[in-house]
C-alpha cells in the first residue's frame, strides 16, 4: 500500500512539472464548468491571459544577473522591463563573505530614454549582482509558472470564465412568466457565486490582502465654535469639569 501511494504521488508531481498552456486551459475549464461555445471562441485564452497578468502583479518571477559597473553604473539586463520590473535586491561588492547587500538608498534605477540603467550612489568599477522581477509566461513555447501556484492561476482564470457566463445569462431578455424568470436567474447567480469562490481560492493560496487597494480614509470630528464663539448645535463641545 505504501509503495502504491508513492507511485501516485510521483505521477502527480511529474504531471505538474510537465504542465503546458494547453494543460492549464484544460484545468481552467474543469474548474469553471462552462460551455465555451456559448461564451465565445477564445474566451479561455482571454481568461488565462487575464489570470497571468494578475499573477504577475502579485508574484512576479525573480531572476538574477551579474553586472559589470563602469563609473558606478551599468545597463540593466535585456529582460528588465522598465514599466514592470523592479530591483528587489543588490549585492555589492561580490567579494564579501557573507554577502553584503545594499540598502535601497544606496542605488537607483533610471531610464535615459534609450536604455534602463542602475547607478550606485558611491561610484565604482567592480561587479554587482542584482535580483529583479520579470513576467511569468505561459505560452505554447514557454511556461514559467511555478507548480505550487498553478491551481491558483487556474482558479482566477476559471473565475473570469464564470463571470462571463453569469453576464451572458443575466443579459438575456427576461421571460414574461415569473417562474421562467426565476429559473433563468438561478444559473446566473450560481456562476457569479462560483466566480467569487474561485477568486477567493486564488487570494488564499497566494496570501493576497484584499484590502491593499482600498484608499486611505479618516473620520474627523470637528469641535470648533461658531463665529460668535458659541457651541454648535450639531457638534457641541464636550463639557469640561474643573476640580
Per-residue pLDDT of the chain (243 residues; tens, 9 = 90+): 444 433 333 334 444 457 899 999 999 999 999 999 999 999 999 999 999 999 999 999 999 999 999 989 999 999 999 999 999 999 999 988 999 999 999 999 999 889 999 999 987 889 999 999 999 999 999 999 999 999 999 999 999 999 999 999 998 755 544 555 555 568 999 999 999 999 999 999 999 987 765 444 444 444 455 555 555 555 554 444 444
> How is the beta sheet containing 107-111 ordered, strand by strand?
73-75, 116-120, 107-111
Strand partners, 91: 101, 129
Strand partners, 133: 62
CB atoms within 10 A of CB 91: 17
| Cα separation, 126 vs 235, whole angstroms | 65
| Cα separation, 3 vs 1, whole angstroms | 5
Looking at residue 112, its pLDDT comes to: 86
Within 102-177, residue ranges assigned H as helices are 150-170
Cell numbers placing 147:
507548480
**Cβ contacts of residue 156 below 8 Å, gap of 6+?**
50, 51, 54, 55, 198, 199, 202
pTM: 0.75
| Cα separation, 153 vs 163, whole angstroms | 16
Q: Which of 74, 142, 136 is nearest to 108 (CA)?
A: 74
Q: Which of 65, 218, 43, 61 is nearest to 127 (CA)?
A: 65
163-185: b (≥16 Cβ within 10 Å) or e: bbbbebbeeeeeeeeeeeeeeee
Provide the 8-state DSSP code for 31: H
Q: Helix, strand or coil for residue 8?
A: helix
Cell numbers placing 15:
504531471
Q: Which of 157, 145, 143 is nearest to 51 (CA)?
A: 157
| Cα separation, 132 vs 81, whole angstroms | 10
Antiparallel, parallel or unpaired: β 127-134 and 87-91: antiparallel
Amino acid at each position: 500500500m505504501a509503495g502504491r501511494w508513492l507511485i501516485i504521488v510521483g505521477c502527480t508531481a511529474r504531471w505538474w512539472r510537465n504542465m503546458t498552456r494547453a494543460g492549464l486551459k484544460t484545468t481552467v475549464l474543469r474548474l469553471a464548468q462552462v460551455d465555451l461555445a456559448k461564451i465565445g471562441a477564445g474566451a479561455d485564452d482571454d481568461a488565462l491571459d487575464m489570470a497571468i497578468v494578475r499573477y504577475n502583479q502579485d508574484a512576479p518571477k525573480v531572476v538574477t544577473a551579474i553586472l559589470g559597473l563602469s563609473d558606478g553604473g551599468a545597463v540593466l539586463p535585456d529582460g528588465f522591463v522598465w514599466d514592470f520590473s523592479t530591483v528587489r535586491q543588490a549585492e555589492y561588492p561580490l567579494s564579501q563573505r557573507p554577502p553584503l547587500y545594499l540598502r535601497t538608498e544606496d542605488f537607483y534605477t533610471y531610464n535615459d530614454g534609450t536604455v534602463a540603467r542602475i547607478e550606485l550612489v558611491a561610484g565604482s568599477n567592480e561587479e554587482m549582482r542584482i535580483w529583479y522581477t520579470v513576467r511569468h509566461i505561459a505560452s505554447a513555447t514557454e511556461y514559467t509558472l511555478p507548480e505550487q501556484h498553478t491551481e491558483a492561476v487556474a482558479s482566477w482564470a476559471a473565475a473570469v470564465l464564470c463571470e462571463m457566463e453569469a453576464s451572458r445569462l443575466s443579459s438575456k431578455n427576461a421571460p414574461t412568466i415569473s417562474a421562467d424568470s426565476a429559473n433563468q436567474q438561478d444559473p446566473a447567480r450560481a456562476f457569479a457565486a462560483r466566480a467569487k469562490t474561485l477568486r477567493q481560492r486564488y487570494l488564499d493560496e497566494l496570501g493576497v490582502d484584499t484590502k491593499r487597494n482600498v484608499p486611505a480614509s479618516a473620520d474627523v470630528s470637528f469641535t470648533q465654535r461658531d463665529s460668535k464663539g458659541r457651541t454648535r448645535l450639531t457638534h457641541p463641545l464636550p463639557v469640561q469639569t474643573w476640580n
